[in-house]
Amino acid sequence: MKWFIKCIKNYTVFKGRAVRPEFWYFALASAIIQISLLIIDIIIGWDVGIIDGIKTFPLFETSRLLLLVPSISVTVRRLHDINKNGWWSLLWGLPVIGWVILVLWLCKNGDEGENQFGLNPSL
């Protein structure tokens, strides 16, 4: 939980670097929270309606909205850790190929020592 809380506190920080555990534990905690809220929405039968043929669930959609900026922030900082510009996070918008490239990059070890985005946070 410490990584999740750290990301929530640093949601406006797009500079610096984020180590692998920070990114992946944030992603895991976010997924658990969102899946739990979706299950609660389904159990309660609390869907707002259908938009473009897809049911919308208020708790789930609210969690997605609240976690959007922290997710972007930690992704940018994680890319900085491997010496990539944060704009590469736009690859999420490119189905399959972009996702595969980003997941491979996000799994890489960070640069040892200092890079153009700052000191290694794990030191």
Helix (H) or strand (E) holding 92: none
Residue 49 pairs with which residues in a beta bridge? 56
Contacts with 97 (C-beta within 8 Å, 6 or more apart), sequence order: none
Residue 118 pairs with which residues in a beta bridge? 115
Per-residue pLDDT of the chain (123 residues; tens, 9 = 90+): 888 888 888 888 899 999 999 999 999 999 999 999 999 988 988 777 777 777 788 899 999 999 999 999 999 999 999 999 999 999 999 999 999 999 999 999 998 888 889 888 875
> Taking the model in full, what pTM does it have?
0.86
Residue 51 pairs with which residues in a beta bridge? 54
Q: Nearest CA to 110 among 22, 9, 25?
A: 22
CA gap 2, 19 in Å, rounded: 13
CA gap 57, 90 in Å, rounded: 26
